[in-house]
Structure 1
């Protein structure tokens, strides 16, 4: 693209060229016409002077030829006398007898045929090689035109003068055009450079480079325009920084929100989706943009709420169930958003995952029911046997000892249950601080084995212990012992006679895996996800008969998590169960 100053200069020079050319041609023609008119006047005057000097009393004078030659010398012009029939009677430069008839000459015809007072004609002479001007006036006798006196003048000198004038004018005009070009270039650059810089700054602003500024400061209106562009650029930069800051804040809020956000236009197409809703739908939220909400959410309930909100233009709140990719319960809050004129632009849907809340509510209700049920059994037993004693059974010593033994066992069971509940509550609320020390896990496993030795021998079980002598980790010794004791006690309780229990320790880099494996009854797959819930029992009758409270594995899980570890379970019905506790060696 040509620069602006080049286009301005070219246009200016083109205009000046045609202006100067027109002026030069007009001036040359005007001067030429002035010369010619002057010569015509002179030639007519000369013709009248010649006519007066000839003192003609008739065209047939004998000495006319000599008289004409005599008069032509002082006037420096060719003089010719022609009669009415066009015959040349006398000529100052040629023999009249050898000359042709001049009746058809324009200047002669103007006087004789047209009756004009004078005749003027200019034509090129091929014989002489230059143009001649002819002026003819009538010769009258008694009021009749008897002939004409014609005076001819060479235009060779005039043509040379005109050619010289044209050359001079051409040179002058060329110099003027050259000076005009130099001045025009300077003026054009002075105007164009600030304009070009302003255009460049405008292009940069269009390309979102808001640091661009007009450095040149021209005077006048261009200076005002440059200042206006700089102010505009500064204002745009400030506004864009605010917009970007707001966008970053909004993006940060949306990106880190735990609730899913979906922005849908009035046509049902998704405009925006945050990361949380992508996780809920197990899809990339960037793929949602521009698609219909039905394709994105793949849930009839939510799509129905979106369509209802778009139709009714009112806020809607409801719970919806998702079954893909996981079963979830979502609290959906939908509200329309409108433009400046109040027209509907679309709707905003905010989805809160309340699956855990509902699950916890269910667990809380189940916990209350389980606690009530667990407390009810020993209390009912104590109350029943006490009433029996009060009704007279105290008189029977054997019955008295039997009932008191039952009351003692039930009160012990009630005591253990309450202690476990209080202990679990303290662990969950982190009321018991973790006292870190170096613990030899092999030694802890040995103590646990000594604790359950009688039960193992009574059921004829085989208990296999780790072969290592020392395996050290950081943790609280009592908690680690309680973890292993609960797992081994469960293995003893649920392993039939003649079964085998294996306790092993496996070091995995900076972690230690404590495994308790048995050949017991096993656990069904459907029970595995709820195995660590409070009061959850796989075999409720057997668990209660074994004296368990249903809180052992829940306590184990929280004790493991207090050591920043995790617990895994692998089980098959009829083949056995393996619990693996993985804890870091360093806390």
Structure 2
């Protein structure tokens, strides 16, 4: 505000100075013109008078008579008088010897006089050493111009008078500036001080110091402005408190929402995202905000729907697939943002991640389809062979026995399948209680291998048990652990060709307090594309061979859930045609 005060003071003083200078220049010019006009008239009369007196041939041609005649007509030497013939030769001059003067044929006033006009010129006189005004008139003898009479007078008095006027003007201007600066400074201070106070309060308000008030009690317009500022500060303080509270509530809601929220402006740039969107898009919020939605979202389908909502200002809901940073299925609601004027100024997008829901729906659908398919095969066999027996095949004892054996095998298979489904359902629902006890791992593996040994011998498979150093004890559920090992061994026997081998390893990791059990076979292996799905219900890599082995397709699903119930992990490594390794990791405590 000090700069404004100086600016105001300098402006007023500048205006005063400009007015005084313009007035001085005007009066100086008027005075100068008045002097010059008077001087011009005086010199013109003097020159014409002399020209009339010397126009006679006997006077103009005789220098002595010429000098006497001039002195008779103009005895005073205040005006310099010069008589010049038409060739520029000076015949007489009352200030200098005529014969010592140079030819005047090139003088502008002389040239004008030879043309019959009154010549006027202002210039510096080398002879006299100061500025002079020259006025020349022609000397006429009849109609012929025989020469010219020139009168001249010094302009020194005029110049001195103008210089004195300028000196007086500048002195007055200086005094005016000194007095004016004091007066203007006081006036500007009285004007600026309230403005500075109002500016201070306004600046404090911008820095959120809403309690600041203007301390001015004047009754004029400045006082009214101060009162308005105070009222505004009070109102703004209340409004900002309410806005802050609303922002806190909105921020809390957006931050804790599991659904993503995006606000896109009418310029198609992202203006707001919540943490859920950062998780869905795999990009921090500060890198998304301000970008075009098609650039930040990296999903053509999502951007297409946003543009549609922006262009048509309609509310709708769509299911969108995104593939970055990972494939997801989103249920997205698009709604135009309408401001208080009823104008569409952007789009609000709400994203719900329904990937797990769609995956569970697909798993349920696949499960129903697989159960139906798996149940249909044994039921069809039982129904077909039963109908065959009822139609007369019972008379042939051998055929009847074969059919009944098949019916018995299919019934057993159907029973195992239903039992596995029920067991899997109980395991998933945590309805099987865990009976924790001390388990000797080597004894448990040996007893499990004994159960599967007949099947292995029929296929001439070699089963290698862990050595004595693997006699590890742990606290766990014995039945669950045995079922895990049994299902993995059954799976290895089923998919290992005749003459192959199965190796069971057990290792104690003291650093991490974990037990690792590995079942390694030399079987047909699992293609890489099928590995992520082998723990799904009824999923089979080789469907025909799985059915021939008598498996239900639920063994690995049961193993996975049992391992999770024991707070462990299971992973698989396999190369097609070279065998498979299942690794189960369980905590020791």
Same fold (TM over 0.5): yes
Q: Shift of residue 238 of structure 1? A: 5.6
Map of 2:472 onto structure 1: 471
Runs of at least 5 residues in structure 2 that lack an aligned partner in the other structure: 10-185
Q: Deviations over 1:133-187 (max 9, x none)?
A: xxxxxxxxxxxxxxxxxxxxxxxxxxxxxxxxxxxxxxxxxxxxxxxxxxx9xxx
**Residues 383-402 of structure 1 aligned to structure 2 (within 5 Å):** 383-402=383-402
Structure 1 residues 219, 306: closer, same or farther in 2, change over 3 A?
closer
Q: Shift of residue 315 of structure 1? A: 0.8
Structure 1 residues 231, 486: closer, same or farther in 2, change over 3 A?
farther
Map of 1:43 onto structure 2: none
Map of 1:207 onto structure 2: 207
Map of 1:269 onto structure 2: 269
Runs of at least 5 residues in structure 1 that lack an aligned partner in the other structure: 12-183
Map of 2:407 onto structure 1: 407
Question: Secondary structure in 1 aligned to 2:479?
Answer: helix
Q: 2:525 aligns with which of 522, 527, 533?
A: 522
Map of 1:564 onto structure 2: 567
* 8 A contact 2:205–2:212 mirrored in 1: no
Map of 2:489 onto structure 1: 488
Provide the C-alpha distance between the structure 1 equivalents of 2:381 and 2:447, rounded to a whole number of angstroms.
35
- Higher mean alpha-carbon deviation, 429-438 vs 474-483, is at 429-438
**Residues 6-21 of structure 1 aligned to structure 2 (within 5 Å):** none
Provide the C-alpha distance between the structure 2 equivalents of 1:284 and 1:574, rounded to a whole number of angstroms.
45
Structure 1 residues 568, 469: closer, same or farther in 2, change over 3 A?
closer
Map of 1:260 onto structure 2: 260
Question: Secondary structure in 1 aligned to 2:526?
Answer: coil
Provide the C-alpha distance between the structure 1 equivalents of 2:234 and 2:493, rounded to a whole number of angstroms.
79
Map of 1:306 onto structure 2: 306
* 8 A contact 1:335–1:349 mirrored in 2: yes
Provide the C-alpha distance between the structure 2 equivalents of 1:244 and 1:452, rounded to a whole number of angstroms.
71
Map of 2:542 onto structure 1: 539
Instruction: Please give the root-mean-square deviation of Cα atoms over the aligned residues, in Å.
Output: 3.8
* 8 A contact 1:570–1:578 mirrored in 2: yes
Provide the C-alpha distance between the structure 2 equivalents of 1:349 and 1:325, rounded to a whole number of angstroms.
19
Map of 2:109 onto structure 1: none
Map of 2:12 onto structure 1: none
Structure 1 residues 464, 312: closer, same or farther in 2, change over 3 A?
same
* 8 A contact 2:201–2:212 mirrored in 1: yes
Q: Shift of residue 429 of structure 1? A: 1.8
Question: Secondary structure in 1 aligned to 2:375?
Answer: helix
Structure 1 residues 340, 380: closer, same or farther in 2, change over 3 A?
same
Provide the C-alpha distance between the structure 2 equivalents of 1:554 and 1:241, rounded to a whole number of angstroms.
57
Q: Does 1:420 align with 2:416?
A: no
Q: Shift of residue 2 of structure 1? A: 7.1
Q: Shift of residue 242 of structure 1? A: 4.4
TM-score by length of 2: 0.62
Structure 1 residues 303, 437: closer, same or farther in 2, change over 3 A?
same
**Residues 229-378 of structure 1 aligned to structure 2 (within 5 Å):** 239-378=239-378
Q: Shift of residue 503 of structure 1? A: 1.9
Structure 1 residues 381, 333: closer, same or farther in 2, change over 3 A?
same
* 8 A contact 2:321–2:327 mirrored in 1: yes
Q: Deviations over 1:418-475 (max 9, x none)?
A: 1111111111122223343343333322222222222233323232223335434443
Structure 1 residues 451, 229: closer, same or farther in 2, change over 3 A?
farther
Q: Shift of residue 237 of structure 1? A: 5.5
Structure 1 residues 205, 445: closer, same or farther in 2, change over 3 A?
farther
Map of 1:513 onto structure 2: 516
- Rg comparison, structure with higher value: 1
Q: Deviations over 1:463-517 (max 9, x none)?
A: 2223335434443221111111111211111112222222222325133222222
Q: Shift of residue 583 of structure 1? A: 2.6
Q: Deviations over 1:111-139 (max 9, x none)?
A: xxxxxxxxxxxxxxxxxxxxxxxxxxxxx
Map of 1:24 onto structure 2: none
Provide the C-alpha distance between the structure 1 equivalents of 2:330 and 2:217, rounded to a whole number of angstroms.
67
Map of 1:112 onto structure 2: none
TM-score by length of 1: 0.62
Q: Shift of residue 377 of structure 1? A: 1.0
Structure 1 residues 463, 234: closer, same or farther in 2, change over 3 A?
farther
* 8 A contact 1:522–1:577 mirrored in 2: yes
Provide the C-alpha distance between the structure 2 equivalents of 1:256 and 1:552, rounded to a whole number of angstroms.
40
Structure 1 residues 207, 509: closer, same or farther in 2, change over 3 A?
same
Provide the C-alpha distance between the structure 2 equivalents of 1:562 and 1:242, rounded to a whole number of angstroms.
51
Structure 1 residues 499, 252: closer, same or farther in 2, change over 3 A?
farther
Structure 1 residues 382, 304: closer, same or farther in 2, change over 3 A?
same
Map of 2:175 onto structure 1: none
Q: Deviations over 1:1-57 (max 9, x none)?
A: 779xxx9xxx9xxxxxxxxxxxxxxxxxxxxxxxxxxxxxxxxxxxxxxxxxxxxxx
Provide the C-alpha distance between the structure 1 equivalents of 2:209 and 2:472, rounded to a whole number of angstroms.
64
* 8 A contact 2:258–2:276 mirrored in 1: yes
Question: Secondary structure in 1 aligned to 2:377?
Answer: helix
Matched residue pairs, number?
412
Provide the C-alpha distance between the structure 1 equivalents of 2:353 and 2:364, rounded to a whole number of angstroms.
18
Provide the C-alpha distance between the structure 2 equivalents of 1:399 and 1:232, rounded to a whole number of angstroms.
104
Q: Shift of residue 331 of structure 1? A: 2.2
* 8 A contact 1:332–1:351 mirrored in 2: yes
Provide the C-alpha distance between the structure 2 equivalents of 1:399 and 1:407, rounded to a whole number of angstroms.
12
Q: Shift of residue 289 of structure 1? A: 1.4
